[in-house]
Amino acid sequence: MTFLSELTKTSPYTQSPEQDNNTVEISTRYAAPFRGDGGMVPLSLSSFDRTDLIANDCERVRLMKHAAHYSNDVIMICSTESLDPPGPRVIYVNEAFTRITGYAAEEIIGKSPRMLQGADTSAETRANIRTRLSRWEPITCDIVNYKKDGTPFWCEMNIHPIPDGSGGYSHFMALQRDVTQRKWQEKEQESAMNALQENKERLIDAQRAARTGSWEYNIATGKINWSPEMFRILQFDPALGEPDYSRLMSRYHPDDVPMHNAVVAKAMADGIPYEFDIRAVMDDGTVHWMYALGRPMRDHRNTIVGLNGTVQDITDRKESELNLTLALQAAEAATQAKSAFLANMSHELRTPLNGILGINEVMLQTNLTEEQENFAQIIQSSGQTLLLLLNDILDLSKIEAGKLEMESSPFDLRRLVSETLQIFCLRAQEKGISLKFSLPPDISLHFRGDGNRLQQVLTNLIANAIKFTERGEVKITVGHDWATPTGVCRVRVAITDTGIGIDPASQKRLFQNFTQADNSMTRRYGGTGLGLAISKHLIELMGGEIGMASLPGKGSTFWFQVPLETVESGLSALPSESPPAACNSRVLLGVNNSTNRIVIKRLLEKRGCRVETVSQGSDVLRLWREQVFDLALLDMDEPEMAGDAAVSELRAEEAVNGLHPDQGPFLIIGLVDANAETSKQWVRRIGTDDTLTLPLQPAALNAILQKWLSRHRATGDKETARPDLIREPTVRVEGGLPPERVPSGSSALRRMGAAQFAPQSTSL
């Protein structure tokens, strides 16, 4: 046999042996060798049992189908037909395909997987898939597919060619996973990173604009991380990296480093944030101011592991503050200079003016003809108008300088209002205006406060009401809230008129310096526009408030309310309104100005006093040692008089040598200029018993004499200085109180010192 050709055939079949009736699957091989001459040789047969192998294969297939069925990822098997459209056909998908895409298996079997693609599917990715598969190369990529309902979803796809066992490939298997959530997270993360980068860039821009740098210090490593602006404002080269702590300290002013180190050490030890201003010295020697702020950083165990904070270049702000300070100092110096000038001007103007008014007041008390009395009244009224204008300007200057002091002494509210109304009775009568005063019967009448300033406000408001009222009435209404447990009562006073009224636009300009409701009013009614502004300042200094309501053509109501301390009625401290009878008391008058000395002496003598006058403080002590006096009136503002020194020496001598054997403690009244810098409280503190304001008003002098000399009044020869009272007109008082009898005529005005509050000089 030259050649033996073997034919092998494997054909499975089933045989059922009779002994156990089991079905056995065997594999049989037939080998038929041939001789070279075509002759036959005996057939050889071999077989073996494949049952276990088949069973194992079936089990593996079952497990694989089970795994594929319950897999969360899509398993898709496609044919290897042409990759060009329509492309391979799907021959198998698992259950996950339906769960993810919404398509049933029969809807995709036999069709191209390209049916899952859509508008947002990347053409570049599809081309890349075709290229790789055409070379039988596996590929992994992310691609957008579409569900049955049209919803796009991101799919992570792994495609592998499946070998056919003969060197070729029979199928493509694709594993697909829904990564939409991951893609959204990546997108959000990317957006967050982009936003973070944008914020970082904005922060850098903001820090550059604000000249503020940020830093972070790690205690363990000693490393300082700086923002770009830190390098810029501290003028360090970023190429050299962040400086260490010691290098940073070398930038700060040597005098400020100990403070910096102490504050930072406390922050690291106690966890207390800090902030301070510190100086930085640059390489060129210039000094920049920095505002440093820091706070501790803690780890998860609440242990302080570092500090972070900011440094801001505030050099410009510091320069502005310095310039502002210098400007304020200059303004204060200018204000002080103005105040000093006005005080000096006040003294220089008021001294001769007081002399004119004083002498004229004395002359009015002499026997004058009617014509002479009219001329003297014109002098008195004009002088008082000028004096009031001067007082307004000086008051405003004091208010602006913050040097206007409020007094606190007992006063009778009813008397204060009544006396103020008496000033305006003649003026109201001349215009045919009715004056009314409404006072609740249950209101306390006695308070402690600055009655003089309160009367000044009341005078301004009543004068305005009469000035701008041509017919009708002016009514003053007093009300109050009940006193608090501390004895403070809130008193409200309203002045209502039936005058011209004020339009809403003009009302906004009231209570401002040198401002009237209408500029034309200055020409028609006169005034400087200071009255309301000063009244507002005075009321606010008392802790109260002031306001108004008005209708054009209907009238106006101006009101104010102030807190006042109530006092018991009948206090001896309350001054009497009646001038004293001739007291025959000996009075020592120490006044340097000769005119004032003559005027005051004459006023005292008209009230029955025996007066000794001196012009030097040393003469006060000499006469006090030589003679017995009931009272001394000493000028506290004249330098030549040196009244304060005289009082101090006199009180000291009283303390050392005891009281004068023929008298008790020497009564001393300090004479102070109404607008001088001298404080009445200070005058009282140095040893005076009371004060009188210059120019001296007869009513005020009467009150002082009544208060302090009642125990010295003579019982015999009493010369009455009280002028006659004219019974008309009267002020109508509402609220159950008896009418207040109001004097009129020149003598009554002199008694009340009416010219001091001349209505024609008070302005809105």
pLDDT bucket at 718, cuts 50 / 70 / 90: very low
pLDDT of residue 745: 34
Which pLDDT value is given to residue 109?
93
Q: Which residue has the tokens 């609440």?
A: 302
Does domain 586-712 match CATH 3.40.50.2300? yes
pLDDT of residue 472: 92
pLDDT computed for residue 458 by the predictor: 92
Residue 124 has pLDDT above 80, yes or no: yes
Separation of alpha carbons 257 and 585, rounded Å: 75
Average pLDDT estimate for 211-240? 88
Task: Please give the helix or strand (H or E) that residue 737 lies within, else none.
Answer: none
Query: How sure is the predictor about 708, in pLDDT bands with cuts at 50, 70 and 90?
Result: confident
The stretches of 594-670 forming alpha helices (DSSP H) are 594-606, 617-626, 643-657
Q: Is the pLDDT of residue 677 over 50?
A: yes
The answer, yes or no, to whether residue 568 has pLDDT greater than 50, is yes
Helices and strands per DSSP (H, E), number in the chain: 21, 28
Of 385, 386, 405, nearest to 395 by C-alpha is 405
Determine the average pLDDT of the residues in 372-386.
Answer: 83
| Residue 227 parent element (H or E) | none
Q: CATH 3.30.390.10: does it fit domain 408-572+731-761?
A: no
pLDDT at 346 over 90: no
Whether 378 has a pLDDT exceeding 90, the answer reads no
* Cβ–Cβ under 8 Å, residues 463 and 531: yes
* DSSP secondary structure letters along 626-686: HS--SEEEEESS-TTT-HHHHHHHHHHHHHHH-S-TTSSSPPEEEEEETTSS--HHHHHHT
Report the share of the chain in percent with pLDDT over 70.
75
Q: How confident is the model at residue 49 (pLDDT cuts 50, 70, 90)?
A: low
Of 586, 649, 595, 657, whose CA–CA distance to 617 is shortest? 649
d(CA 369, CA 360): 14
Q: Is the pLDDT of residue 728 over 90?
A: no
Which pTM does this prediction carry? 0.47
In sequence order, what DSSP letters do the residues of 422-463 get, joined into one string? HHHHHHHHHHTPEEEEE--TTS--EEEE-HHHHHHHHHHHHH
660 vs 401, 638, 651, 664, CA distance in Å? 44, 27, 11, 7
Task: Look at residue 563 in the predicted model and tell me its pLDDT.
Answer: 92
Q: Is the pLDDT of residue 252 over 90?
A: yes
Tokens, residue 563: 């807190």
CB-CB contact of 648 with 686 (8 Å):
yes
- Please give the C-alpha separations between residue 452 and each of 45, 419, 446, 459, 629, in angstroms, as whole numbers: 146, 12, 14, 10, 29
Alpha carbons 729 and 432: distance in angstroms, whole number: 11
User: Nearest 5°: CA angle at 308, between 306 and 311?
Assistant: 140
Q: Choose the weakest-confidence range: 37-41, 284-288, 357-361, 533-537.
A: 37-41
Helix (H) or strand (E) holding 498: none
**Bridge partners (DSSP) listed for residue 476:** 437, 495
- Boundaries of every domain in the chain: 8-49, 61-178, 181-210, 211-313, 320-388, 408-572+731-761, 586-712
Which of 449, 559, 454 has its CA nearest to residue 511?
559
Residue of higher predicted confidence among 4 and 87? 87
- Could you tell me if residue 62 is left (phi over 0), alpha (psi between -120 and 50 degrees) or otherwise beta? alpha
Instruction: Indicate if the pLDDT at residue 281 is higher than 80.
Output: yes
Residue with tokens 């210090």: 217
Q: Is the pLDDT at 40 greater than 70, yes or no?
A: no
Q: Are 197 and 213 spatial neighbours (Cβ–Cβ below 8 Å)?
A: no
Alpha carbon separation from 599 to 109, 574, 589 (Å, rounded): 130, 26, 11
Cβ atoms of residues 446 and 568 within 8 Å: yes
Domains 61-178 and 408-572+731-761 share a fold: no
Nearest to residue 211, comparing CAs of 318, 115, 137, 109? 318
In angstroms, the CA 404 to CA 679 distance is: 9
228, 236 Cβ separation under 8 angstroms: no
Cβ contacts of 670 within 8 Å, gap of 6 or more: 634, 636, 643, 647, 680, 683, 684, 688, 690, 691, 692
Q: Which of 262 and 636 is assigned the larger pLDDT?
A: 262
What's the CATH architecture for 61-178?
A: 2-Layer Sandwich (3.30)
* pLDDT of 488 higher than 80: yes
With beta carbons less than 8 A apart as the criterion, state whether 172 and 80 touch. yes
Kindly tell me if the per-residue pLDDT of 724 is higher than 60.
no
523 compared with 528, residue with greater pLDDT: 528
Q: Give the Cα separation of 95 and 68 in Å (integer).
A: 8
Higher pLDDT, 287 or 199: 287
Place of tokens 């706070």: 295
Nearest-CA neighbor of 464 among 534, 541, 379? 534
CA distance 396 to 173: 100
Predicted local distance difference test score (pLDDT) of residue 756: 34
Please determine, for residue 742, whether its predicted confidence score (pLDDT) is greater than 50: no
The DSSP letter of residue 510 is T
E strand or H helix at 66: helix 51-70
Range of lowest pLDDT (263-277, 378-392, 613-627, 648-662) = 648-662
Which residues make beta-bridge pairs with 477? Answer: 438, 494
pLDDT tens per residue across span 130-162: 999 889 999 999 999 999 999 999 999 999 999
Alpha helices in 115-216, H assignment, sequence order: 123-134, 180-210
Closest Cα to residue 49, out of 15, 20, 19?
A: 15
SS3 assignment, position 329? helix
**The domain defined by 211-313 carries CATH number 3.30.950.10:** no
Omega before 163 within 30 of 0, i.e. cis: no
82-96 mean pLDDT: 85
pLDDT in tens, 571-607: 444 444 455 544 688 999 998 888 888 888 988 988 8
* Per-residue pLDDT at 748 exceeds 50: no
Q: Which of 140, 139, 600, 528 is nearest to 355 (CA)?
A: 600
Higher-confidence residue: 648 or 90?
A: 90
Between residues 463 and 737, the one the model is more confident about:
463
Matching residue, tokens 């009564």: 667
Helix (H) or strand (E) holding 480: strand 473-481
Closest CA to 547 of 499, 507, 491: 507
User: Within its chain, how far is the Cα of 177 from the centroid?
Assistant: 61
Report CA torsion sign: 524, 530, 531, 536.
Answer: positive
Phi/psi zone of residue 192: left (φ > 0), alpha (ψ -120 to 50 degrees), beta? alpha
- Which pLDDT belongs to residue 707? 81
pLDDT beyond 90 at 244: no
Task: Collapse the DSSP code of 393 into the 3-class scheme (helix H, G, I; strand E, B; otherwise coil) and give the result.
Answer: helix
Mean pLDDT of the chain: 78
Indicate whether 9 pLDDT > 60: no
pLDDT at 740: 38
Q: What is the largest CA-CA distance in the chain?
A: 193
- For residue 416, what are the contacts with CB-CB under 8 A and spacing of at least 6? 451, 454, 455, 458
% of the chain exceeding 90 in pLDDT: 27
- Judge whether residue 185 has pLDDT over 80: yes
Report strand pairing: 631-635 vs 586-590.
parallel
Least confident of 102-116, 605-619, 705-719: 705-719
Residue 526: the pLDDT is: 53
What value, to the nearest 5°, has the Cα angle with vertex 135 and ends 131 and 139? 65
Please state the rounded mean pLDDT for residues 410-422.
85
What per-residue confidence (pLDDT) applies to 715?
Answer: 35
- Check the CA dihedral 217-222-223-226 and report its sign: positive
Tell me if residue 313 falls in helix, strand or coil: strand
pLDDT at 188 over 80: yes
